[in-house]
Amino acid sequence: MLDQKSLSALREAVKKLDDGFAALPAFESKAPSSERLAEVLNATAGRLQDNYPYFHPLYAGQMLKPPHPVARLAYALAMWINPNNHALDGGRATSAMEKEAVAEIAGMFGWKNFLGHLCGGGTMANLEALWVAGQLRPAKKILASAQAHYTHGRISGVLQLPFESVACDALGRMDLNALANRLERGDVGTVVVTMGTTATGSVDPMPEILTMRAKHGFRIHADAAYGGYFVLARNLEKHTSQAFAQIGEADSIVIDPHKHGLQPYGCGCVLFRDPGVGRLYKHDSPYTYFSSSELHLGEISLECSRPGAAAAALWATQKLLPLRKGGEFACGLELGRKAALALFEKLQADERFVTAFAPELDIVVFVPRAGSAGEASALSRKIFEAAAKRDLHMAVAELPIVFWENNLGTMKRDRETLTCLRSVLMKPEQFDWLPRIWELLSASAKDVLRARN
């Protein structure tokens, strides 16, 4: 089930890496005995078996998928060196690889002259973007939608910047009237525009928010941690593709290679349109930056030590799968979206289920039809459990009932939220697996709904 064929390429690459250091005097490394090593490694494998099968198409729950084999191997290969991309002193080759790979990501948004780097993930990347925003608009409000990731409220707390949430519309996007009203009251420094919310993949209306920026002069930070790569997809609806077409007009962008970019965890990316914000990072270090007068990534990053291996993995992945519209990588995203649309259609056509709005990216949310919102919520949890017993792994989310408003019919609205089933179809293979996913979901719902009657 797990890829093992690619391991032989790693042996060859380690040999090639070793050749690069052949001129050094030989030394005996303190490696443990191979028996003991194997024993502990097998024990580790045993412990790791206690996981949901994130790599399998039947894992259709949270935003989780395995890295591409080339990312896994390049990361492992770099571990023989363990470079540190804080400074060129610690990660010469991988700092160069990071700059190249990040420039390719910025290129997707049409940026050539920018400032950016990798970091630990979406939280760290957003922290940095809001830290810069807070310095440029001191003490002004940060706004993000009610469906934006909770990290923005927490980060604003850490940065001691005032934060306010803006209501969402029935499609899970920032409500433009609510935003306009809030802007009229003044004092807004930055609007976080979420390009793919965590719960439903909804994309905030970037073009209209850009128009409001022209009037009010706030900064726009695009949180594209989840959705950013969809800028390459050709099968988006009009609203979504228009929003992505203008993402390059934001002041800063966050995108997570460790979500849709096929990377191991520990790989986020923050980008600034104006490279001049680099001055805000200015600091002296008595210990680092000695080996070269060239830019060290630590001079433009809040984190100090960072895995150069993450840069090697990203660089290798983008060499194999360039970030091009119509390329293999982009087609993979399109397939996940096709799978989500196909699941949505099946759910819509089946009277046992109530769908919310159509997926904007590759995330589908739905509930079983029931007499009341409370009952539907309880049944969602039961279907989630019944599906897991059949090895189909979905997720559960608590979302505003207005997302379902058009389809609820006579269902009693006895709660403001619905506990729903949520499926993130991030893996291209899931398109071919959809009949099987549907069969298992349908059978699980049948059991749960029969037991209710």
Ligand X SMILES: Cc1ncc(COP(=O)(O)O)c(C=O)c1O
The residue among 63 and 179 lying less far from ligand X, judged by its C-beta, is 63
Q: Report the nearest approach of ligand X to the CB of residue 78 (Å).
A: 21
The residue among 152 and 338 lying less far from ligand X, judged by its C-beta, is 152
The residue among 98 and 256 lying less far from ligand X, judged by its C-beta, is 256
Q: Report the nearest approach of ligand X to the CB of residue 226 (Å).
A: 4
State how beta strands 268-272 and 115-119 pair: antiparallel
Q: Report the nearest approach of ligand X to the CB of residue 124 (Å).
A: 7
Is the separation of the CB atoms in 194 and 164 below 8 Å? no
Q: How far apart are the first and last CA of the chain?
A: 39
State how beta strands 141-145 and 353-355 pair: unpaired
The residue among 84 and 126 lying less far from ligand X, judged by its C-beta, is 126
Q: Report the nearest approach of ligand X to the CB of residue 179 (Å).
A: 18
Angle between helices 430-452 and 373-389 (to 10 degrees): 120
Angle between helices 69-78 and 7-19 (to 10 degrees): 30
Q: Report the nearest approach of ligand X to the CB of residue 338 (Å).
A: 21
Residue 262, phi-psi category: left (phi > 0), alpha (psi -120 to 50), beta (remainder): left
Q: Which residue is nearest to ligand X (CB)?
A: 122
The residue among 85 and 126 lying less far from ligand X, judged by its C-beta, is 126
The residue among 200 and 380 lying less far from ligand X, judged by its C-beta, is 200
Give 165's contacts (C-beta < 8 A, 6+ positions apart): 143, 144, 145, 146, 148, 153
CB atoms inside a 10 Å sphere around CB 241 = 15
Residue 29 token pair: 């490394």
The residue among 130 and 387 lying less far from ligand X, judged by its C-beta, is 130
DSSP 53-65: -TTSTTB-SSS--
Which residues here bind ligand X, judged by CB under 6 A? Answer: 63, 121-123, 126, 149, 151, 194, 198, 223, 225-226, 256, 268
| Element of type H or E holding 4 | none
The residue among 121 and 189 lying less far from ligand X, judged by its C-beta, is 121
Question: What is the C-alpha separation between 103 and 27, in angstroms, rounded?
Answer: 39
The residue among 226 and 344 lying less far from ligand X, judged by its C-beta, is 226
Residue 188 token pair: 């807004």
Is the separation of the CB atoms in 185 and 162 below 8 Å? no
Q: Report the nearest approach of ligand X to the CB of residue 30 (Å).
A: 36
Residue 94 token pair: 């991988």
Q: Report the nearest approach of ligand X to the CB of residue 225 (Å).
A: 4
Q: Report the nearest approach of ligand X to the CB of residue 178 (Å).
A: 19
DSSP character for 292? -
Secondary structure of residue 178 in the 3-state scheme: helix
Is the separation of the CB atoms in 228 and 253 below 8 Å? yes
Q: Report the nearest approach of ligand X to the CB of residue 358 (Å).
A: 19
